[in-house]
Amino acid sequence: MDLKELQDHIRALAATVETDAAVMSCYLNLQIGGVANREFFQNRISLLRKTLAEPLLRGFEEAVVRTCNYLDTELLAESGGLAVFARGGKEPFFLPLQFQVPLPDWIAVGAFPNVFHLVELKDTYHRFVILISTEEKAQILEVTLGEVTQKLWRERPQLQERIVRGWSKEQYQRHRRHDTERFFKEKIEVLEKLMNKGGHKHFILAGSPRLTSQIKQLLPKHLADKLVDSISTSAGDRLSDIVKMAVTMFTEEEEQESRAVVEKLMDEIHANSFGIVGITGTLRFLQRGSVDILVMAKDFEAETGWRCRSCRFVGEQHGRLENCPECGAKEIEETDLREEMIRLAEKYGCRVEVVNHSDRLMQFQGIGALLRYYTAEQY
What's the pLDDT tens digit per position in 205-261? Answer: 999 998 899 999 999 999 999 999 999 998 788 888 999 999 999 999 999 999 999
Give the pLDDT confidence score for residue 175 in this predicted structure.
47
Give the pLDDT confidence score for residue 377 in this predicted structure.
57
Residue 67 has pLDDT above 70, yes or no: yes
What is the distance between the alpha carbons of residues 28 and 30, in angstroms, rounded to a whole number? Answer: 6
- Residue 92 to residues 6, 20, 61, 315, Cα–Cα distance (Å): 21, 11, 12, 29
Give the pLDDT confidence score for residue 176 in this predicted structure.
54
Residue 68 has pLDDT above 90, yes or no: yes
CA dihedral 9, 13, 16, 21 (to 10 degrees): 120
Pick from 134, 172, 131: which is nearest to 155 by CA? Answer: 134
Average pLDDT over residues 162-174: 51
Residue 139 has pLDDT above 60, yes or no: yes
Give the pLDDT confidence score for residue 319 in this predicted structure.
66
Give the pLDDT confidence score for residue 44 in this predicted structure.
96
Fill in the amino acid letter for 164: V
- Residue 19 to residues 112, 245, 304, Cα–Cα distance (Å): 9, 44, 21
Give the pLDDT confidence score for residue 54 in this predicted structure.
87
Cis preceding linkage at 220, omega within 30: no
Residue 160 has pLDDT above 50, yes or no: no
Asked if residues 148 and 125 have their Cβ atoms less than 8 Å apart, the reply is no
Give the pLDDT confidence score for residue 197 in this predicted structure.
85
Of 152 and 96, the structure prediction assigns the larger pLDDT to: 96
- Domains of the chain (ranges, CATH numbers): 1-125 (3.30.960.10), 127-237 (3.30.420.60), 257-379 (3.30.1330.30)
Average pLDDT over residues 155-180: 52
Give the pLDDT confidence score for residue 159 in this predicted structure.
44
Helix, strand, or coil (residue 59): helix
Is residue 349 very low, low, confident or very high in pLDDT (cuts 50, 70, 90)?
Answer: very high
Average pLDDT over residues 95-107: 95
Task: Tell me how far apart the 2 most distant CA atoms of the chain are, in Å.
Answer: 96
What is the separation, in whole angstroms, between the first and last Cα of the chain? 42
Q: Where are the beta strands (DSSP E) in 32-163?
A: 34-35, 81-87, 93-99, 106-110, 127-133, 137-144, 147-155
Phi, then psi, of 106 in degrees rounded to 5: -160, 125
Average pLDDT over residues 268-295: 93
pLDDT tens digits for range 169-201: 555 455 455 667 788 888 888 888 888 888 889
Contacts of 25 by beta carbon, 8 Å cutoff, 6+ apart: 83, 84, 85, 106, 107, 108, 109, 110, 113, 114, 115
Average pLDDT over residues 264-270: 94
Check residue 226 and report its DSSP letter: T
Average pLDDT over residues 78-98: 95
Give the pLDDT confidence score for residue 374 in this predicted structure.
65
Of 342 and 54, the structure prediction assigns the larger pLDDT to: 342
* Rounded percentage of the chain residues whose pLDDT exceeds 90: 63
Residue 341 has pLDDT above 90, yes or no: yes
Of 111 and 155, the structure prediction assigns the larger pLDDT to: 111
Give the pLDDT confidence score for residue 174 in this predicted structure.
54
Give the pLDDT confidence score for residue 376 in this predicted structure.
55
Residue 371 has pLDDT above 70, yes or no: yes
Check residue 378 and report its DSSP letter: G
Average pLDDT over residues 115-140: 89
CB-based burial of residue 223 (10 Å sphere; 0-12 exposed, 13-18 middle, 19+ buried)?
middle
Phi, then psi, of 130 in degrees rounded to 5: -120, 130
